[in-house]
Amino acid sequence: MGYPCRRSLMEVKMNKMNTTNNSFTTKVKNVSSRNICEYVMRLQPFENHKGTCYGQWKSRRDGVGFSDGRDLDIPSELGYAVYSYGSHFPIYFYSMEAECWFGTNDTYSRTTSRHQSLARPAAREDITWLGVNRLKYITIHGYAAYVAKRIHLKGEQ
């Protein structure tokens, strides 16, 4: 059974509200490895029993996106990120702006490869694959800022 990549913004918000007692903050749930994918698909915060793989919501900070501080007309929630061994190595990211999943094909260790396999949120063809540095940029600044940066860089060529 494949999982759909696109989820409506309302569906994600309703799911998030229903799973967090009508609040956009939630306690991190300690989960077993076999249940990681369930939490990822529901976009719920989690941490594996060793704390080496975890998922969390990322919020947009004021002024993030453009160096001149322009505000973007986007949701305050950037999306949901899944990390292996810390925020320096995101493995998946659900963007609220693009309404789809991003992932990295980059590998770091056998354990990170296992985390990537356990946390895979959708069918492989439903994920936009990027290098880890580009994925990290999106988890910090958002998809709109990533696209704006790419357009700006292309214009300089």
Tokens of 94: 């659900």
Within-domain flag for 2: no
Within-domain flag for 1: no
Within-domain flag for 3: no
Q: Which of 27-36, 65-74, 98-107, 136-145 has the lowest mean pLDDT?
A: 65-74
Within-domain flag for 78: yes
Cα–Cα distance for residue pair 45/23, rounded to 1 Å: 13
Higher pLDDT, residue 77 or 116: 116
Within-domain flag for 4: no
Domain count for the chain, please give it. Answer: 1
Hey, which residues does 77 pair with through a beta bridge? 59
- 11-68 pLDDT, tens digit per residue, is 555 555 444 433 344 568 899 999 999 999 999 999 999 999 999 999 876 334 444 4
Which domain range does residue 148 map to?
A: 9-60+70-156
Task: Give residue 156's pLDDT.
Answer: 73
Within-domain flag for 48: yes
From edge to edge, which strands make up the β-sheet containing 90-95?
Answer: 29-31, 46-48, 53-59, 77-84, 90-95, 100-104, 127-130
Within-domain flag for 65: no
